[in-house]
Amino acid sequence: AAAAAAILHDVFGYDRFRGPQAAIVDHVIAGGDALVLMPTGGGKSLCYQIPAIARQRAGEGVTVVVSPLIALMHDQVGALHEAGVEAEFLNSTLSGEQANAVERRLARGEITLLYAAPERVTTPRFLALLDALHERGQLGLFAIDEAHCVSQWGHDFRPEYRALAILHERFASVPRIALTATADAITRADIVERLQLQQARQFVSSFDRPNISYAIVEKKEPAAQLLRFIESEHAGEAGIVYCQSRKRVEEIAQLLQGQGVQALPYHAGLDVAVRQANQDRFLREDGIVMVATIAFGMGIDKPDVRFVAHLDLPKNIEGYYQETGRAGRDGLPAQAWMAYGLQDVVNQRRMIDESPAGDDFKQVMRGKLDALLALAEATDCRRVRLLAYFGEVLGEGPPAAGPPQGGRGPLGGQGGPPGPTVGATCGNCDNCVQPPAVWDGTEAARKLLSTIYRVQQASGIAFGAGHVMDILRGKQTEKVAQFGHERLSTFGIGAEYSEAQLRGVLRQLIATGALAVDAQAYNTLQLTDASRAVLRGETAVLLRESVSQPAARRRRGGG
Ligand code: ADP
Ligand code: ZN
């Protein structure tokens, strides 16, 4: 422990370890295996860099760091050189000659930390090099960074990570430390299994980012809402705006520029030079707003990003957490803001339905989307729900380390965020700061579902949201006349509801699976098994007041 503290101070210039760092470092220096789950910015690098230095000094040899991010490798090796540590990397940016030089230094035992891309590490040539080092007792530690890449349930699956299991099979006596900032139960269980880390001690940090405030608003005119958000709360500050498509990125960047915001676009369709230039400006200059697809952000370490805005729904909570986590790395107040609407739900469901993946995979993806939708629809503390997804209770710190739960079906019993703990709130999310007035939309939901049922029965075909709402509200449209739908018993029984209200009801029904959208058939609405409980009045449908409700029925609080 004294050696570790000395390295922390003398090599890295820090006075004390943060959170679980000390325990992790001690465990790994002593030769134990570790799985480290720590949020972005938590300080994962030191968890293997200090053991690497300690083990090299103790004559145990080199640490091989597997990392998928070339840019990150370069940054880290550069920083280690400045701290006087012998570090090198092996990846596709090196010429054959340069790579040979690194390999020769490695064989001579001159390197403390060797960073390598996963596809490098598992080549026969590289494994032979490791064999030679291992025979001489000069292979000190394996560090596997971004370990979630081994799991298809993580947000960044990389097949070449699967082959890393060979490190354990071939060099069983060499300790390993795997690190990730993604830690939902199913991904964690998968990492343990794929990398054979059953014996590894798990170190789970709190995933709470107390300085980030969360807000999720109803999407009406997203561009105008975004502009208002930036102008009123983040004028002149750096931020990231995530959009789903390249086209949307271009549109929003232009629109912001037209309004005097220093916005730049970033997506994979841009010329590499343009992309690089925009990224450099974002990192170097103050107050740049990067409008981007999710292609932007991995390995970007800009401390003073004051807000991350989502104009479209991410795929799941891990994605949301990763992306919003890029805000406020300096620990100062920052905001995560998202506009979310019915179309998002429809789009994300369709993307899953239409993906070429197998049924099991789709099932897991739907479960993950549902958990995110529940977060978006929540009328109680967002942070409580977000942390619950990572198995953490707000205010109680991280879950106890131990074997991951799981193994019971694809979601390992995780299903979605459990209900919030009574009393625990963060005071730093939209729902805490201004508890939304909620109204009971159960009756509206029943009327909607019975209308969908009757229309389909009467006409033998399904219809989309617009037409169903028209019938419910008693609107005489051409289509209503064409199908004779004004004769249905449900025609006009929801005249007291506005279209906005009904959209809110629809969104929640779809979000909770009580209604399905058939993407193959013009986005028509279909009842599901879960519709029945709502129709019978057994499932309450609570909606935010922003989906404004006739004043008479309004009530405050969490209902
Ligand atoms: P992660 O990989 O978990 O996202 P990093 O390893 O990049 O995080 O660390 C984030 C920042 O925190 C870095 O600037 C790092 O130098 C700093 N840091 C890490 N540990 C400590 C510590 N014990 N004391 C002070 N700063 C630290
Ligand atoms: Zn809260």
Render pLDDT for 353-395 as a digit per residue (tens, 0 to 9): 888 888 888 888 888 888 898 899 888 899 998 988 888 888 7
CA dist 505 → 304, 457, 518, 557 (Å): 38, 22, 18, 19
Ligand 1 binding pocket includes 12 (Cβ within 6 Å): no
Q: Which of 10, 14, 180 to mutate to test the pocket of ligand 1 (most atoms within 8 A of CB)?
A: 14
Residue whose CA is at the smallest distance from ligand 1 atom 25: 14
Length of the chain: 559
Distance between Cα 386 and ligand 2 center (Å):
10
Distance, CA 496 to ligand 1 centroid (Å)? 56
Q: Which ligand 1 atom sits nearest the alpha carbon of residue 301? A: 7
Ligand 1 close to Cβ of residue 395 (< 6 A): no
Can you tell me which atom of ligand 1 is nearest the CA of 16? Answer: 23
Q: Which whole number is the average pLDDT over 11-30?
A: 95
Ion ligand 2 contact residues with beta carbon within 5 A? 381, 383, 425-426, 429, 432
pLDDT of the residue at 278: 96
For residue 267 and ligand 1, the question of a CB distance below 6 A is answered with no
Token look-up 């943060």 returns: 18
Choose between 17 and 364: higher pLDDT.
Answer: 17
Burial track 29-39 (b if 16+ CB lie within 10 A, e otherwise): beebbbbbbbb
Mutate to test the pocket of ligand 1, among 18, 37, 45, 113 (most ligand atoms within 8 A of CB): 45
**pLDDT the model gives residue 403:** 41
Residue 114's alpha-carbon distances to 98, 349, 484, 519, in angstroms, are: 14, 42, 74, 49
If you write DSSP's letter for every residue of 440-507 in order, what string do you get? E-HHHHHHHHHHHHHHHHHHSS---HHHHHHHHHT---HHHHHHTGGGSTTTTTTTTS-HHHHHHHHH
For the residues 390-410, what does the mean pLDDT come to? Answer: 58
When pLDDT is cut at 50, 70 and 90, the band that residue 236 belongs to is very high
pLDDT digit string (tens) for 284-307? 999 999 999 988 887 677 989 999
457-478: pLDDT as tens digits: 998 999 999 999 999 999 999 9
Q: CB–CB of 243/296 below 8 Å?
A: no
Ligand nearest to the CA of 4: 1
Judged against a pLDDT cut of 50, whether residue 139 lies above it is answered with yes
Kindly state if the Cβ of 299 falls inside 6 Å of ligand 1: no
What pLDDT was estimated at residue 399?
65
Confidence of residue 555 (pLDDT cuts 50, 70, 90): very low
Asked whether the predicted pLDDT for residue 505 surpasses 70, the reply is yes
| Distance, CA of 141 to CA of 56 (rounded, Å) | 9
Give ipTM to 2 decimals. 0.98
Nearest CA to ligand 1 atom 20: 43
The Cα–Cα gap between 512 and 531 comes to 10
Average pLDDT over residues 253-257: 97
Token representation of residue 45: 């690098």
CA of 91 to the centre of ligand 1 (A): 24
Q: Is the CB of 25 under 6 A from ligand 1?
A: no
- Average of per-residue pLDDT values in the chain: 88
Q: How far apart are CA 45 and CA 297, in angstroms?
A: 18
454 lines ligand 1 (CB under 6 A): no
**The pLDDT of residue 422:** 47
Q: Which residues contact 82 (CB under 8 A, 6 or more apart)?
A: none
> What does the pLDDT read at residue 72?
84
Q: Which of 160-169, 172-181, 355-364 has the lowest mean pLDDT?
A: 355-364
Nearest residue (by CA) to ligand 1, atom 12, is 43
Confidence category of residue 53, pLDDT binned at 50, 70, 90? very high
Q: Which of 25, 36, 46 should be mutated for ligand 1, with most atoms under 8 A from CB? A: 46
Task: Name the range with the highest mean pLDDT among 425-434, 515-524, 546-555.
Answer: 425-434
Residue 94 alpha carbon to ligand 1 centre in Å:
27
Pairing relation of β-strands 239-242 and 307-310? parallel
Confidence of residue 559 (pLDDT cuts 50, 70, 90): very low
538 Cα–ligand 2 center, Å: 28
**Cα-to-centroid distance, 425 and ligand 2 (Å):** 5
Task: Tell me the chain's radius of gyration from C-alpha atoms.
Answer: 26
With the most atoms of ligand 1 within 8 angstroms of its CB, the residue from 18, 207, 302 to mutate is: 18
Q: What is the pLDDT of residue 392?
A: 84
CA 427–ligand 2 middle distance (angstroms) = 5
* Alpha carbon distance 41, 39 (integer Å): 6
Residue 76 near ligand 1, beta carbon < 6 Å: no
Going by alpha carbons, the residue nearest to atom 19 of ligand 1 is 43
CA of 512 to the centre of ligand 1 (A): 39
Q: Whose CA is nearest to atom 23 of ligand 1?
A: 17
In this structure, which ligand is nearest to the CA of 42?
A: 1
How much is the pLDDT for 436? 87
CA–CA separation, 399 vs 205, rounded Å?
8
DSSP 213: E
Please identify, by atom number, the ligand 1 atom nearest to the C-alpha of residue 21.
Answer: 23
Strand, helix or coil for residue 15: coil
Name which residue sits closest to atom 18 of ligand 1, judged by CA: 43
CB 26 within 8 A of CB 175: no
Asked if 200 contacts 35 with a C-beta cutoff of 8 angstroms, the reply is: yes
Task: Give 29's pLDDT tier (boundaries 50, 70, 90).
Answer: very high
Ligand nearest 8 Cα, by number? 1
* Of the candidate ranges 41-45, 162-166, 266-270, the one whose mean pLDDT is the lowest: 41-45
Distances (CA, A) of 407 to 251, 358, 359, 417: 45, 19, 18, 18
Q: Closest Cα to atom 13, ligand 1: which residue? A: 43
Q: Which ligand 1 atom is the nearest neighbour of the CA of 12? A: 16
pLDDT value at 162 more than 90: yes
Using DSSP's 3-state secondary structure scheme, residue 391 falls into: coil
